[in-house]
Chain A
Amino acid sequence: MEYLRTLRNNNVIYSGTRNNFNQQTTSDFSIRFVFSGNERYNIGKRQLSIHNDSFLILNKGTHYTSTVESAIPVQSLGISFDDKFLQDFKNSWQLKDDTLLNLNTYPFINRYEHEFDETIYPFKGDLFFNVNHLKHHLDRGLQDELLINEYLHHCLINYFQIFNEEIFQKAQRLNFLSKSTKIEILRRLNLAKEYLYSNYNTNISLDELAEYACLSVTHLLRTFRQAFHQTPHQFLVQIRLQRAKDLLRNTDYPVNEIVNMVGFDCPSSFIRLFKDRFQTTPMKYRLSF
């Protein structure tokens, strides 16, 4: 099902199967989701790939191209927020008593009022639930704009929470005195993360990862562990396992083929890692659906 909804307040929602190639400039701040398959965005020299476990933030005015490289149909959802809606949201969020009392918990409110971090974030928690509810209603033809905007308002709350968790809370873990250094290092570590998210199925060397993140290998390893409590390799394995799980559930590919598709070398180590993480074997997991 494909639809493009422009609400009376100029928020825009697009849902459908993407074409093979799409070239655009974002007119507003927007969030991009993929529910099946994967979509690759080229922004300048960066190539970002989103799956159903992640989402992408695009700032107003960003020029991008997107391509679909997927064996299964790519269902995507894009939400663009009108400037005024975004500003009203920020004003109301700032005035909430609990927010005012917790400015240390939400430092981005003042310091990053006009700035969003354009990268890939994990699609999880309340954002996952609210976006899925919204899509469910829109797919069934919901016309009530008050309700649609209620969901959009909550999508922004949820995005800010994820942004706060992924940027500021993790920056606090870094062993640097200066707050601005912490934030800058965290931004670079997020570049490393987006590289892993986007190239998880290739053989990634630490050198190329460090170069992409503009950090030395030593610095990358040390700070990545400090911020995320795991190594880049552990993070990569986590992504591969999650995406293998998705392929097991949604496709008929043989397990051996999935092993190669997600970037593992050896089926036996894949099965061991899968069992460690999900407490079941890949075949048992597939048969449970």
Chain B
Amino acid sequence: MKIKYIPVFTNDIEKQVAFFTENLGFEVYGKKNLLPDREGILIKTNSPDLFIIVLTDPDQAYTRSQIIINSHDCLSDYHNLKMAGVVFFNEPHYLPMGLGAEFFDPSGNQYLLIEERSYNSPA
């Protein structure tokens, strides 16, 4: 498991992306469909393999996880973390980009564990 995305929520995606690109000097890397009906803009950071994902969520209907952790096998990691005492507030469920589950840390911060799946390649 490793940290892969840091989500940033905004009501004005253009303004937020401009902040990252113009003020902080980061680059737009592409788009990612993380949540149902919510397209995110990927921002490349100076750390390899770590991206900021800018999401519109004006109604706050979806997750507000602060950190997104990449998993190669979500069911296995979910099971092992649960056995280790981590509190999940939902079971593994299917998202547009793969299988995910969310958990809290002891301070109440929220994390999303996600196994990204490329649905076009197999079979």
Contact = CB atoms under 8 A, between A and B. Distances in A.
B103 to A, nearest CB: 16
Contacts of A146: 79
B79 A144 contact: yes
A200 B54 CA distance: 47
A120 to B, nearest CB: 12
Interface in A125-149: 125-126, 128-130, 133, 137, 144, 146-147
Contacts of A150: 75, 78-79
A124 B120 CA distance: 9
B75 A133 contact: yes
B123 A154 contact: no
Nearest to A53: B123
Nearest to B92: A154
B104 interface: no
B67 interface: no
Contacts of B94: 126
A126 B117 CA distance: 8
Interface in A143-177: 144, 146-147, 150-151, 154
A147 B117 contact: no
A78 interface: no
Given A144-B79, A147-B79, A154-B92, A133 B122 contact: no
B75 A147 contact: yes
Interface in A84-127: 122-126
Given A129-B117, A154-B92, A124 B122 contact: yes
B99 interface: yes
A123, A129, A137: residue with the most chain B Cβ atoms closer than 10 Å: A129
Contact of B123 (A123, A133, A137, A144): A123
Interface in B103-123: 115, 117, 119, 122-123
Interface of A: 53, 122-126, 128-130, 133, 137, 144, 146-147, 150-151, 154, 242
